[in-house]
Structure 1
Amino acid sequence: MSAPVVCLDLDRTTIYSAAALDLRVPDHEAPRLLCVEILKGAPQSFVTEEAATTLRELQDVATVVPTTTRTPAQLARVRLPGPPARYAIASNGGHLLVDGVADPEWDAAVRRRLAAGAPLAEVHSHMRARSGPFVLSLREASEMFAYAVVDRAALPAGWVDELGAWCAQRGWAVSLQGRKVYAVPAGLTKSSAALEVVARCGGGPLLAAGDSLLDADLLEAADAAIRPAHGELAATGFTRAHVAVTAATGVAAGAELLRRLHAWATAPRMSVSGSL
């Protein structure tokens, strides 16, 4: 059997901003951190040193695929430990990067699929019309989806749910991740790109990790998966027989889920229930 393909969501699953670390120990007991992203000259995202070591070990036994809603330009800021990834998934499956370059055939296939749904301009216009002082910026990404950067403390109750209901009627999904509210076409999925990578790698098992509603389809498609005990999926009580849940939250969950994925990847036989 071919080596496993491991699709790792990045933000709040594998890497963590300072605000998302959720360190629940005294400062003198906090784990040492490795910075993996610089933004405007300042450290932005981190992993624990333990997670960095485990990730390198995982790369030795599996095809590790960074899998993110970030655009290719945003993904390029992230420098994970170990060698550059052969494959990466950006724009929530809209781009399949091969050695850092978007695969043109995949891009074309995605755009044909998205042409059948509501246009980005309609969704972006609605989000702009429904914005208020709590929306700090509103952007389009990769000409495929839109997202708003919001002030979480000022976000009106029900705003995200109302936007989600409106978008669902038009074949789009909404996800709140940290300070960003994403509106993404239903046809734009991480799972479709992940399965393409599996096919290109010889059809081995698919392992996955993610924390948000936009990761649900990826976890569903995996042979075994794990989610942190925080995030949108935790808030909605997302469970499946083959999806494990970390005991830890925050950056400690990132280290824990990498340990579990490594154990699965090196097990003689992997159970579909997501446990060894």
Structure 2
Amino acid sequence: MIYSRNAFDGAEPATVCVEYLDGAPLSYMTAAATAAMADLAATAAVLPTTTRTIAQFDRIRFPGEPWAYAVTSNGGNILVDGSPDRQWRRAVDGAVRAGGATLAEVGAALRDRIDESWVLKYREADELFCYLVVDLSVTPVDFLAEWDSWCRPRGWSASRQGRKIYTMPMAVCKSRAVAEVRARLVASGRLDPAAPTLAAGDGALDAEMLSAADRAIRPRHGELEELGWTHPNLTVTASTGILAGEEIVDWFTAALPGRVTEPTG
């Protein structure tokens, strides 16, 4: 939903900066997408869902906030009125322990396999998972497949999104956190049990969430595009880059119950 200037793909629409890092502008939405998202949040139960850590998510000034709920850390954390839900996190930590290797074990094995000739950064996120920022031009071609093969018997998996290679416990996934928030909204009477779940995402870590949704959309760029990933419930945008973000917001609006038309893609 938000894009750096590298994702403008030659387009120069009117934009709004929605994220700053150390005082410098970092991420944008088109002005049209910003206005449409604010309208959507006033009409529907919008749930921001991201692989970002809590601190990274807090940098974003996303139209429609404040959020009653948000999902960060790839589903490892649920924020309730901006604060982490401790009960949810304890359940996630328990599932990770039961699933296999610890973050310390996985991180040590990963650091043994990398070097600074192609890895720019190694980071651990919210004490849940780790990721690399790499130089793709010199990353060993077999690294991701080989590392993923090591991870899976130990309850983890590896995937790439842009210049980042994520190593994630299988117990940590967005779809479970989304289902939990939906159940809470229904139980509280804030959401009609018959309301459809609509989802958008562009990376391999989003695939399970997109599959679980009643209807889903992905942009015509990103990791899922590179993989040619599809699903019977899936729409693919016509646009790429920041204009795909605008198209996704319009798709959400058109797909709400009671709407008669929707954009094609």
- TM-score in terms of structure 2 length: 0.91
Q: Which residue matches 1:155?
A: 139
Residue 21 of structure 1 and its aligned partner are, at CA, apart by 2.7
Q: Which residue matches 1:123?
A: 106
Question: Which residue, out of 69, 81, 94, partners 1:87?
Answer: 69
Q: Which residue matches 1:11?
A: none
Q: Which residue matches 2:6?
A: 19
Q: Distance in 1 between matches of 2:165 and 2:240?
A: 21
Q: Deviations over 1:114-147 (max 9, x none)?
A: 1112111121112111112211111111111011
Q: Distance in 2 between matches of 1:46 and 1:137?
A: 24
Q: Which residue matches 1:258?
A: 249
Identity %: 47
Residue 169 of structure 1 and its aligned partner are, at CA, apart by 2.5
Secondary structure of the residue aligned to 2:220 is coil
Q: Distance in 2 between matches of 1:269 and 1:173?
A: 41
Which stretches of structure 1, 4 residues or more, deviate above 4 A after TM superposition?
Answer: 268-271
Q: Which residue matches 1:76?
A: 58
Q: Which residue matches 2:18?
A: 36
**More contact order relative to length (CA 8 Å, sep ≥ 6):** 1
Residue 220 of structure 1 and its aligned partner are, at CA, apart by 1.0
Secondary structure of the residue aligned to 1:229 is coil
Residue 166 of structure 1 and its aligned partner are, at CA, apart by 1.6
Q: Which residue matches 1:102?
A: 84
| Structure 2 counterpart of 1:108, one-letter code | R
Q: Which residue matches 1:227?
A: 218
| Structure 1 counterpart of 2:155, one-letter code | G
* Alpha-carbon contact 1:61-1:266 (below 8 Å) kept: no
Q: Distance in 2 between matches of 1:253 and 1:268?
A: 21
2:38 corresponds to 1:56: yes
| Structure 1 counterpart of 2:168, one-letter code | V
Secondary structure of the residue aligned to 1:260 is helix
Q: Distance in 1 between matches of 2:134 and 2:206?
A: 21
- TM-score in terms of structure 1 length: 0.88
| Structure 2 counterpart of 1:217, one-letter code | E
2:169 corresponds to 1:185: yes
Secondary structure of the residue aligned to 2:47 is strand
Q: Which residue matches 1:6?
A: none
Question: Which residue, out of 141, 154, 160, partners 2:125?
Answer: 141
Q: Deviations over 1:38-97 (max 9, x none)?
A: 011111111111110110121122111111111101100011123311110010000000
Q: Deviations over 1:146-167 (max 9, x none)?
A: 1111122222222222212221
**Which runs of 5 or more structure 2 residues have no equivalent in the other structure?**
187-192
Q: Distance in 2 between matches of 1:269 and 1:162?
A: 48
Cα RMSD for the two superposed structures: 1.8
* Alpha-carbon contact 1:61-1:265 (below 8 Å) kept: no
